[in-house]
């Protein structure tokens, strides 16, 4: 499928499902996970930070890492890709669904509303005892760990760690949206983490069109109807251009 055909398919689509990954926030200055030099996992081992064992072993160190990421994302601004996806939602209305793997909250700050945050959100914490979720305080003055406003127990970062389940209902809603989509967009993800990466294949399996926007090839590329080899903001702009 050519770019022109992909553009026409997106324009004609009544139902559009979008999966985003860390690459959509790269142009906001937020490091991805697996990009060789800048990615988080290039400098840390994920098991040492983003896992229940790491948190059990050293909650202080894990909280320090997340408090630093929370500060970074709070200082970052949504980029063109986030704004274009918020515009696409306004154009498609009820037929639009966004599933993000990102925990940086930038889609919400760009105005996206019809979305699920599959891996949680850095700006909130979850009580280890009663499960209450609360927003974190001002990132510039926040000193972890936060305590639960309901039962005063210690709270943990409200993100999905390796080996943990995704938020209740989020995955089901996403699987349904991708299974019904005429067009799925897969933007800025290496497609290595399931079940999120499998969502785009639901659209393919149901006979829909799947379009990837990524400067590099990914594990999902062979399954795509069209791959736009560009950064998220330019690739999306090309797909959403009038002609």
Among 84, 98, 160, 220, binds ligand OAD (CB under 6 A): 160
Among 1, 3, 11, 34, binds ligand OAD (CB under 6 A): 34
- Please indicate whether residue 223 is annotated as part of the active site: no
Among the listed residues 187, 203, 200, the one whose alpha carbon sits nearest the alpha carbon of residue 237: 187
CA angle 49/133/18 to nearest 5° reads 75
| Rounded least distance, CB 104 to ligand OAD, Å | 10
Per CB under 6 A, which region of 29-37, 106-114, 168-176, 201-209 contacts ligand OAD?
29-37
Which residue has 């090309």 as its token pair?
238
Yes or no: say if 207 and 219 are a contact pair by the CB < 8 Å rule: no
CA gap 10, 105 in Å, rounded? 25
70 touching ligand OAD, by CB under 6 A: no
Per CB under 6 A, which region of 15-23, 66-74, 83-91, 170-178 contacts ligand OAD?
15-23
DSSP 147: B
Catalytic residue among 40, 82, 107, 119: 119
CA gap 49, 42 in Å, rounded? 13
| Rounded least distance, CB 36 to ligand OAD, Å | 10
Q: Which is nearer to ligand OAD, 153 or 167 (CB)?
A: 167
Q: Which is nearer to ligand OAD, 124 or 190 (CB)?
A: 190
Among the listed residues 87, 76, 85, the one whose alpha carbon sits nearest the alpha carbon of residue 123: 76
Size of the site for ligand OAD (CB under 6 A): 26
Q: Is 79 helix (H, G, I), strand (E, B) or coil?
A: coil
Yes or no: say if 85 and 115 are a contact pair by the CB < 8 Å rule: no
Yes or no: say if 36 and 42 are a contact pair by the CB < 8 Å rule: yes
Per CB under 6 A, which region of 70-78, 88-96, 142-150, 186-194 contacts ligand OAD?
186-194
**Residue whose CB is nearest to ligand OAD in the complex, by number:** 23
Q: Which is nearer to ligand OAD, 101 or 203 (CB)?
A: 101
Which residues are the active-site residues? 119
């Amino acid at each position: 499928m050519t770019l022109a055909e992909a553009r026409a398919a997106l324009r004609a689509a009544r139902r559009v499902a979008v999966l985003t990954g860390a690459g959509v926030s790269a142009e906001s200055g937020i490091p991805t996970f697996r990009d060789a030099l800048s990615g988080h996992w290039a400098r840390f081992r994920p098991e040492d930070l983003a896992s229940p064992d790491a948190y059990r072993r050293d909650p202080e160190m894990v909280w320090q890492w997340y408090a630093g990421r929370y500060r970074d994302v709070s200082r970052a601004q949504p980029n063109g890709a986030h704004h274009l996806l918020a515009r696409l939602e306004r154009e498609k209305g009820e037929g639009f669904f966004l599933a993000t793997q990102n925990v940086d909250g930038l889609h919400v700050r760009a105005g996206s509303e019809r979305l699920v945050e599959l891996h949680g959100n850095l700006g909130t914490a979850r009580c280890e005892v009663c499960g209450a979720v609360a927003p974190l305080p001002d990132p510039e003055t926040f000193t972890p760990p936060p305590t639960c406003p309901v039962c005063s127990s210690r709270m943990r970062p409200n993100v999905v760690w390796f080996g943990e389940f995704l938020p209740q209902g989020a995955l089901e809603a996403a699987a349904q949206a991708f299974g019904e989509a005429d067009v799925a967009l897969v933007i800025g993800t290496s497609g290595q983490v399931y079940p999120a990466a499998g969502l785009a294949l639901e659209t393919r399996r149901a006979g829909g069109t799947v379009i990837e926007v990524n400067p590099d090839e990914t594990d999902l590329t062979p399954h795509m109807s069209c791959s736009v080899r560009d950064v998220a903001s330019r690739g999306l702009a090309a797909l959403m251009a009038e002609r």
